[in-house]
């Protein structure tokens, strides 16, 4: 029998992908979340352990006897801290798939010292946004110890957001009073002007596309958390940005046996130092579905001791980035 891994938010869109990936990898998922009825409906024989984030006793029961917990329940501004605290009490590693910039900042700020002192592992943003860009940037850096800037361009064919994505985005906007955020001169800077529309030259076959510049994602937290890069900028294909902003864009629709949508993506990461430039590229299908192998591979490596540090750490810091990316070859096409 495989190791028990708790999945908090197991009935959500991404949570279901994570549960399926855990099963495929030989783990035994324990389904947890706030709604017992939804947990029962999502399960297919797995143990369910309902728990609300405002009930520490229930969270402790949810994690009892597990080897790790993956938090898939947004908004992470509400769920991350209570589940991290429960993981620390249980003495198990914590992984989440948070794309919320502010929630990830909070996890680094509030739990760095407690997790380090406990010798615990806490990996936030182990997902398409935040984790993948960080792994690619770390791999692109190679033997560089510093760089002047990092750019992460997201070439999404479109973006049908889940209900969770919409709620998380609303929480983030509220937390920053509707302002947008950029990462410059080694810090987050909040702005009220509109982001620019630019052209980005993606690798073939995508080619040059219009993107929203300074469309800031969780990479501005994960990358500079361990890489000496004072400027990190992310970009989003105009088509995807329009889908996300439109109130009537429907949720993702499964088109294959794995439950993936027809959405495709290309992530183009460029790091620059002086006049030199290095690049790493990944492409694949369905940003929500690909989050599952990212998170589960992280759990596998943590539980098998293939980590480089303890405490709160992003993907690129705690794992061997090139090796981690190679392990995702069934799910990603890489062009480092």
CA–CA dist 61, 90 (Å, integer)? 9
Residue 148 per-residue DSSP state: S
Q: According to the CATH classification, is domain 4-127+290-334 in 3.40.50.720?
A: yes
pLDDT at residue number 336: 58
Task: Please give the distance of CA 153 from its chain centroid, rounded to a whole number.
Answer: 16
Concatenating the DSSP letter of every residue in 281-329 gives: EEEEE-HHHHHHHHHHHHHHHHHTT--S--EE--HHHHS-HHHHHHHTT
pLDDT at residue number 43: 83
Question: Which phi and psi (to 5°) does residue 210 adopt?
Answer: -75, 135
Q: 324 with 301: CB under 8 angstroms?
A: yes
User: What crossing angle do the helices spanning 287-303 and 13-24 adopt, rounded to 10°?
Assistant: 50
| CATH code for the structural domain at 128-286 | 3.30.360.10
Residue 131 per-residue DSSP state: I
β-strand pairing of 48-50 with 68-71: unpaired
CA–CA dist 117, 17 (Å, integer)? 33
Residues constituting the chain: 336
Q: 99 with 130: CB under 8 angstroms?
A: yes
**Contacting residues for 219 by C-beta, under 8 A, at least 6 apart:** 129, 130, 133, 134, 137, 150, 152, 232, 234
**CA-CA distances (angstroms) from residue 117 to 126, 267, 309?**
22, 35, 12
Which sign, positive or negative, has the C-alpha torsion 10, 87, 169, 324? Answer: negative
User: What crossing angle do the helices spanning 76-90 and 56-63 adopt, rounded to 10°?
Assistant: 60
Q: Which residues of the chain have pLDDT under 50?
A: none
Q: 261 with 253: CB under 8 angstroms?
A: yes
Closest by alpha carbon to 294, among 160, 85, 134, 159?
134
Task: Please give the distance of CA 102 from its chain centroid, rounded to a whole number.
Answer: 13
Domain ranges (residues) in the chain: 4-127+290-334, 128-286
């Amino acid at each position: 029998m495989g190791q028990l891994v708790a999945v908090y938010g197991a009935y959500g869109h991404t949570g279901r992908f994570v549960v399926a990936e855990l099963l495929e990898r030989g783990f035994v998922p324990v389904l947890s979340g706030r709604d017992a009825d939804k947990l029962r409906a999502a399960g297919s024989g797995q143990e369910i352990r309902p728990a609300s984030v405002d009930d520490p006793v229930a969270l402790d029961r949810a994690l009892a006897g597990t080897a790790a917990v993956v938090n898939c329940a947004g908004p992470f501004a509400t769920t991350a801290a209570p589940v991290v605290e429960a993981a620390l009490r249980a003495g198990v590693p914590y992984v989440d798939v948070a794309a919320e910039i502010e929630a990830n900042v909070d996890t680094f700020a509030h739990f760095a010292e407690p997790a380090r002192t406990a010798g615990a592992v806490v990996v936030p943003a182990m997902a398409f946004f935040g984790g993948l860009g960080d792994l690619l940037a770390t791999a692109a850096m190679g033997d560089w110890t510093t760089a002047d800037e990092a750019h992460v361009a997201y070439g999404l064919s479109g973006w049908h957001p889940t209900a969770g994505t919409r709620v998380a985005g609303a929480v983030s906007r509220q937390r920053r009073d509707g302002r947008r955020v950029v990462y410059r001169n080694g810090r987050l800077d909040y702005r009220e002007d509109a982001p620019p529309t630019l052209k980005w030259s993606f690798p073939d076959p995508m080619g040059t596309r219009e993107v929203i510049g300074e469309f800031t994602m969780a990479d501005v937290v994960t990358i500079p958390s361990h890489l000496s890069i004072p400027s990190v900028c992310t970009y989003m294909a105009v088509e995807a940005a329009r889908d996300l902003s439109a109130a009537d864009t429907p949720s993702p629709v499964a088109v294959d046996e794995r439950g993936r949508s027809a959405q495709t993506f290309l992530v183009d990461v460029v790091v620059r130092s002086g006049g030199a430039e290095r690049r790493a590229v990944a492409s694949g299908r369905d940003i929500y579905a690909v989050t599952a192998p990212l998170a589960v591979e992280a759990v596998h490596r943590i539980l098998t001791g293939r980590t480089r540090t303890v405490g709160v750490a992003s993907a690129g810091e705690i794992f061997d980035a090139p090796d981690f990316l190679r392990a995702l070859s069934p799910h990603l096409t890489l062009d480092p």
